[in-house]
Structure 1
């Protein structure tokens, strides 16, 4: 049996790791593109119903404890309460499948009942998940992407190798991230 050279191992690692992570590569790529446009489309959820509300909101914000907001939330909806955010002139209460926005001065607002967009919504959640196991898995995925990128540099031989063709293209590809990082914010 012939000895397997480094080129063989670069190709094998590149191919097999890419095959293993293909689903995640596709999910991250597609949902990442959609997240880039989240100002024009919410890729995670859609509104199924909106209702006007009026509540007696305590004007002294120092009394806005999690317990107080949970009690207030129970007067708005039966949805399980999650959290709240003070947004200056408004306060937002978050529920399992809804959120309410209330004007601090008037106590008037609305509650939006939402549903997760099937598949796409779950894929976008992967970008923001803080689950410990997911963080470890996505760190492994990040290392795998580095291996795929590095081994990909050594797959082509001859006039299309990395040194002759890949390096100039890679340097050209670096220009755009640096333009956006340092010139266009």
Structure 2
């Protein structure tokens, strides 16, 4: 394959794969930025209403198991129960569009009713989903990003080529992630 044909192939692959994935690139970029700031706000959902609650807890801690928490959930809300998580003396009960936190010693807690933030909430779900088809699509997307990066290195010619100038910028771009990975913990 001639040098001109390789350059044309690189440009075409870079352009067409970029066009195909531009929507996903934008969605991942916006939601990724939002997820970087998840300690400042929840980019996936917002609280509509919070209610205090108090429930009866058995004195015998052995009786507080998954079956008990599932039954307890029915007394808290009619929303669809989705599961629980226990940490120490607190149980978190998950419902469709709500979650409750209950102190397992006092029986006091609260329930928060939530809604997904339009667009941004759905985009953040893409980062966390475990749907097998989405994982395959995301893996293909990752390979496509590698192709875009690699073909992009060989598009420019002359004094702006990867060999003359691009490699320096690429090395500088690699330094920052390594600084954060190894020096700032």
Q: TM-score range by the shorter chain?
A: over 0.9
1:90 and 1:174 map into 2 onto residues whose CA distance is: 43
Q: Is the 8 A contact 1:83 1:93 kept in 2?
A: yes
Partner residue of 1:141? 141
RMSD: 1.6
Aligned to 2:166: 166
| Cα distance in 2 for residues equivalent to 1:3 and 1:99 | 60
Contact 1:59/1:104 (<8 A) preserved = no
Cα deviation 1:95-154 (Å, max 9, x = unaligned): 011000111210100000000001000000000000000000000000000000000000
Q: How does 1:87-102 map to 2 (within 5 A)?
A: 87-102=87-102
Mapping 1:1-185, distance limit 5 Å: 5-185=5-185
TM-score normalised to structure 1 length: 0.95
Q: 1:106–1:155: structure 2 CA closer, same or farther, 3 Å change rule? A: same
Q: Cα distance 1:61–1:154, how it changes in 2: closer, same or farther (>3 A)?
A: farther
Deviation at 1:61, TM superposition (A): 4.7
CA distance in 1, matches of 2:21, 2:37: 25
Residue ranges of structure 1 left out of the alignment (5+ in a row): none
Q: What secondary structure, in the 3-state scheme, does the structure 2 residue paired with 1:91 have?
A: strand
Following the alignment from structure 2 to structure 1, what is the Cα–Cα distance between the partners of residues 158 and 121? Answer: 44
Q: Distance in 1 between matches of 2:145 and 2:131?
A: 21
Q: What is the alpha-carbon distance in structure 1 between the residues aligned to residue 21 and residue 109 of structure 2?
A: 45
Secondary structure in 1 aligned to 2:73?
helix
The verdict on how the C-alpha distance between 1:42 and 1:59 changes in structure 2, with shifts beyond 3 A counting, is farther
Deviations 1:142-180 (A, max 9, x none): 000000000000010110000111100000011110011
Q: 2:78 & 2:23 partners in 1: Cα distance?
A: 37
Structure 2, unpaired ranges of 5+: none
How many residues align structurally?
Answer: 184
TM-score normalised over the length of structure 2? 0.95
State the shift of 1:75 in Å.
Answer: 0.3
Cα distance between partner residues in 1 of 2:66 and 2:79? 16
**Secondary structure of the residue that 1:21 maps to in structure 2?**
helix
